[in-house]
A and B are shown apart, each in its own frame.
Chain A
């Protein structure tokens, strides 16, 4: 009896120790948590490709990938049922189960797949994806972008090489990619590691203003001088709660200034630029440029003269809602896309006029990167071929596209002609329209007009991206392996956020001294080493003939 009690006590002690081991938890580690940078957002323009590639894990060879059907891709033998597991950032829409079950049923013969679709909150998307990858999770597909987790995931070799599988299981998509430069952007060290989006767009700056308050011709505000003339004229005529000008993110001001100086932001890569007229692509640190000084000087002038609100840097106002509901602010930087979308009903009701002007129309500007929004296949994917077949179906089937983007007709959306609408007759508990992060699955050939985008919108966007001043990025196809310099880059980002960001919102006393101080701090953060590393990769990429 005594021995039995001792044995029981020992077992409980061992269980407790095991429990303690499980309890060795630290909360969110700041290293793994990626905060969105000041320039985050799908506006980046550089591409990615063949320089140094992933370093930390061995690439999966094609022979280790499970195959479930005949190699023709059109399968002589029936397909075994597979579940495709997908991750998107954002929030699960209420109608997700209905929609994806319908997709599974509708395409059962061609794909024989069910779909396990998961959403991870935006703020935790990067860290959770990295954790899933490092723990060898077997998800199949995920959304990504060069503003999100793509650089880190690609650096860690988290994505499957698709060189052999893509032509075989997604032949239509492959042919489409081959007709442009998308494959080059998707290639890292000779391996195609993502499926870029197929949109053609250019995000060069426009200036928007309330045309009912200030009369000026369309495209008449082409320079900062023209802009200042309007803003200073309007400043004292506007009510206190309607700022003359607003930018919520300092990257908007930098983007406009970079346009004036024809600097390519390299996909918003940590404030490094290249001159669009320099074929050698010599790397430039933004803080050393005349463009930066001009931006800081202008921001200070706007701040001191009340052109921008004093709390612009910390303001948490939902300016998108303010724009739609109140027609504020008077003026801001915008783009071709957002100055050509449908206006909200309140604008029409109140007879507010949206006026727009192409900024610096004589200067070159890079087109949006193919890597702005991508779908990637996990290197440990359980069903990579089925995932590719699914992506091929999205490229070729309007029915599949409508289901993914809009949901089930008459349950999650209605059609008015070709236009997608939502009304009160739709079930309230099956909301699906406007679900987050569908952009990598956008197909211009299938996009329907809706409340935001009118008929023919995307054809116009594509045409705009092809005008003479809108050119491919200088570094289209370059992927920078930043694994060896990630600590220095993190320091640079931190200094930039703490020191440079306030300057770009006008919070400076002595511009020259503070810029010099910023340069000193950034130089002390191993800037030379970082630039040397990146320049080496650029030079190698150029030497390899792009």
Chain B
């Protein structure tokens, strides 16, 4: 592996570049530091002095208040984790099968399928028809399936995976056919493994999507025991923003969560993703160009 000599590493130009990049990285880190610091600050300090880099007086009240509703957070974590794992797996399965089908050159109506998929990216029936379909016809209301099924099929991801499959040599398929493999065997035993890079990337984006989703919970859930984590944060922020528009509501003792409370809730909800990100970073980078046109 090529390694730069020490003399190159300490050249002024290299040092300058490293210093700039390091400074930029630190600047990007500041909001996260302020987030944690804000969650540990006293509300009066925040009102008087703004958000600190380091809390002037460490105060765990926000976390204490949050953990009083600890059961709600724990339930939210369980639901979100379950939905993310199951949803990612099923979404990958559905999208990959459709993408493979669209990539097969010998499929008679693949153009129709491609256009049909494209149309779903351009148009939609609207909010009310979607809601009626989910609630009244598909039974996707107030159950865990409502958090998973509506998001399974994603046309964008299908196209990315399809493009990857199209970049694989057709000879692979032909030689497998000659050896007597059927379509299922070719797909599950050959193509899926060859598509691991793109599947890893899509899995990552899909998992992030499920983890961050609050929309499905807001529209399709009522039971508090099924509320995902992000919906808890979204509810808090939404209520606070609405109340902030109305001095009357503020005065009427409608409690706006303190800034520390909002920060503490954010720490809870983004914590796992932030800790996992360093391990998954290379897949993000690889995934940016995956599925693009290859020469």
Contacts and interface: CB of A to CB of B under 8 A. Distances in A.
B47 A325 contact: yes
Contacts of B85: none
Contacts of B236: 91
Contact of A90 (B132, B239, B244): B239
The 9 nearest A-B residue pairs measured at CB: A41-B246, A122-B242, A123-B238, A121-B238, A41-B248, A23-B153, A26-B124, A320-B250, A36-B245
Interface string B234-269: 111011011111111111111110110000000000
A23 B251 contact: no
Contacts of A21: 133
A338 interface: yes
Interface of A: 5, 9, 12-13, 16-17, 19-29, 32, 36-38, 40-43, 90-92, 94, 116, 118-124, 127-128, 131, 134-137, 203, 241, 247-249, 252, 316-322, 325-326, 337-338, 428-429, 431, 434, 436, 439, 452
A203 B248 CA distance: 10
A452 B128 contact: no
B11 interface: no
Given A27-B215, A135-B136, A91 B68 contact: no
B247 to A, nearest CB: 5
B83 to A, nearest CB: 16
Contacts of B235: 91, 119, 121
Interface in B71-100: 71-72, 94, 97-98
The SS class assigned to the A binding surface is: loop
A17 B119 CA distance: 12
Contact of A317 (B47, B133, B215): B47
Contacts of A338: 251
The SS class assigned to the B binding surface is: helix
Nearest to B134: A22
B142 to A, nearest CB: 10
A460 B215 CA distance: 45
A27 B242 CA distance: 20
Contacts of B133: 21-22
Contacts, number: 171
B44 A16 contact: no
Given A22-B153, A36-B242, A135 B250 contact: no
B153 A16 contact: yes
Which of B127, B155, B255, B256 neighbours the largest number of chain A CB atoms within 10 Å of its CB?
B127
B139 to A, nearest CB: 12
Interface string B123-138: 1111110111111101
Interface string B14-49: 000000000000000000000000000001100110
Interface in B92-129: 94, 97-98, 101, 116-117, 120, 123-128
A440 to B, nearest CB: 13
A25 B140 CA distance: 14
A16 B97 contact: yes
B251 A320 contact: yes
Contacts of B134: 22
Chain B interface size, under 10 / 10 to 19 / 20 to 34 / 35 or more: 35 or more
A158 to B, nearest CB: 13
Nearest to A337: B251
Contacts of A131: 127-128, 131, 219
B212 interface: no
Given A17-B116, A22-B150, A428-B68, A122 B243 contact: yes
Nearest to B234: A121
A431 B135 CA distance: 32
Contacts of B224: 92
Contacts of B246: 36, 40-43, 249
18 contacts: A19-B149, A23-B153, A29-B126, A40-B242, A41-B246, A43-B246, A43-B248, A94-B69, A122-B238, A122-B242, A123-B242, A124-B218, A131-B131, A135-B128, A317-B47, A320-B250, A325-B44, A431-B68
A19 B153 contact: yes
Nearest to A29: B127
B149 A24 contact: no
Given A25-B151, A120-B218, A127-B127, 19 more contacts: A16-B97, A16-B98, A16-B153, A22-B153, A23-B153, A24-B130, A26-B130, A38-B245, A41-B249, A42-B252, A121-B235, A121-B238, A123-B238, A131-B128, A247-B247, A248-B244, A249-B247, A318-B250, A434-B253
B154 interface: yes
B238 to A, nearest CB: 4
A40 B124 contact: no
Given A16-B153, A27-B215, A134 B128 contact: yes
B152 interface: yes
Which of B47, B136, B234 neighbours the largest number of chain A CB atoms within 10 Å of its CB?
B47
Given A24-B125, A121-B235, A434 B47 contact: no
A434 B254 CA distance: 7
A23 B150 contact: yes
Nearest to B251: A338
Contacts of B98: 16
B170 interface: no
A150 to B, nearest CB: 16
Contacts of A123: 238-239, 241-242
Contacts of B131: 131, 135
A91 B255 CA distance: 10
Contact of A23 (B101, B155, B222): B155
Contacts of B244: 248, 316, 318
Nearest to B152: A19
Contacts of A19: 94, 149, 152-153
Contacts of A40: 242, 245-246
A252 B247 contact: yes
B256 A321 contact: yes
A241 B183 CA distance: 72
A94 B225 CA distance: 12
